[in-house]
Structure 1
Amino acid sequence: MTSIALGSLFGPSHAADVSWTGGTGDWSDGANWGGSVPGVLDSARIENGGTAQVTDSQTVDRVFPGFNANTTGTVTVLPGGILTSNSTTNIGQGSNSVGTLNVNGGTFIANSTGTGIDGAVPGTANVNLTSGTLINKGIWNASRSGTWNFNFTGGNLASKQINGSAGMVIDFDGTTITPGDVGVAGRMTTATAAINMTTNSHTQIDIGGTNVATGSVYQDPAGFYDLVFSGNSSITVGGDLEVSFIDGFAGSISNSDTFNIIQSNASGDRILGSFDNVTFGARLNTSGGEGSFLVTLVNNQFVRLSDYQAIPEASHFALTGGLLALAALVILRKRISH
């Protein structure tokens, strides 16, 4: 009795490693985990060649697909599914291991502001984003000695920082890049990994103020705007550039305000390519139709928005048109009366 009482004074028990024992099946089915579904303090291990499919909301401490040497495991987040990993997610961590994370219509959240996603030490890590949302609030460590395979063909990616390895190129082919997530300002940084935005990609930039996102946090407060930043590698732009106002900033923006929304500090080629929906030196309407920006490439280092011009509201045009019609009618009546 005394030991039980003392144990209760020290709070809940330590986290457990819960291993997947099923084949391809539902994450929420305890039978696939040998009896009970992993909880918020547990590490979820998928290492038997099976596939854990997430179709509802699940939160664990860590996710380990293919963690130990010579193991294989897959996690797939399907529509309706939200999988949150509060600490590091390790994918294909061990020697000769293969780990796969599929985001196919659901949402995966790497919630740690430290190292959110890691792996391939020296195994193989596969990350497939076809639809849905992948959020990484911390560092994505893809600089290990193993192999990382990124397949970003759809959905939304919001990642604070991706650390790559020499020669790594991350292709965005149909995926929407959303620094800080949709509707919230933030900064997406890559280190030693080039960014390639293909013709099917979208770069969604939110503008809520004149302060550029710093990258010190995943999401910035009101008064900031998005930035896609590479510290030492090139950025090839392509696809569509989309710009939206947030936090009511459309009502206070000045024509003289400038926004460097994409930046590369590479020593050689910095920013390459061009967008599909706007050329450099042309104007781009905001997604909400409030106005337009001049889009320019500055010193081959910055993609800049400037010279904002508001678009008068439709009601203004209707009122002006009505007044002109009334004036014409008055003139016509005067002519008839004479």
Structure 2
Amino acid sequence: MMMWKEVPMEMGNGTTVQEFTLEGFPAIQHLRKVLFLVHLLAYLASIAGNAVIVTITCADSRLHTPMYFFLSIFSFFECCFTSTVIPKLLVIFLSGRQTISFLACFIQAFVFVFLGAAGFLLIAVMSLDRYVAICKPLHYPTIMNLKTCFLLVTACFALAFPFITGLVVKVFQLSFCGPRIIPHFFCDLAPLIHLSCSDTSSTEMLAFVLALVILLTSLIITIIAYSNIVVTIIRLPSAKEKKKAFSTCSSHLIVLSLMYGSCVFIYVKPKQTNRLDSNREAALVNTVVTPLLNPVIYTLRNKQVHQALRETMYRMKISR
């Protein structure tokens, strides 16, 4: 592990830290090259899979529906989300350079938490879309029009931004004058709060409350939507219709389980200084596994997307 520099420069309210050291995975440092290759392949596969979803959705007019609009936005989110963390992790594995500047660390933490919060709100919106499509099929084209879809996506950003900005600014204003090793592979708010030499009790409580509100709001909306969906599906007369509806919803629920499980484990704790080491494994699920599985579980197993992909590739082959 690289040693941090002693820097006397004052950067804020009692802060003398100019850079942090990302500890990464100290127990398996000898496998850095292998880990670099594994994470690089996972990252490229994730970006490629999600990029295909966005491209196909834009290119094929048959996929210009609210469901695929939200899926394409979600895939774009995933590309941005994983790109916030994995490139820096790859640099650590490849070069061993584990330091990150004070400002860059907070920028990474803000983008990561902001995209995560907006992503959970988007998940709730996608649940509502499936609820209207299955439970109110006759009113679906009227309710979920293009304007409504754009407004809902904009609302996800607009709601997440002020809450996350306020939290990150509060953490930024803490004093950092002691330990500089972050026991994580990226800058997250919990380990940053843990490193502060200020009184962090109010900041920890604010982080806990915001995490609880965002996750629970999204989860409650999703549970209510899917409870109604399940009841409606059970009442469908045709077995084929039931299978088709359950197939669409099961993909969504698998992704939900991965996202909610890892994030509840990491963030919904009143005392953020507890179990920081175990957060790394849960964060890997959120930043590597879920974005990688999303294209496979969520969309690429969909027959309509398969057909659109085959036809697009065929057209590209003919044009040559």
Band of TM-score, shorter chain:
under 0.3
Between structures 1 and 2, the one with greater helix share: 2
TM-score (norm 2): 0.22
Of structures 1 and 2, the one scoring higher in RCO (CA 8 A, sep 6+) is 2
TM-score (norm 1): 0.21
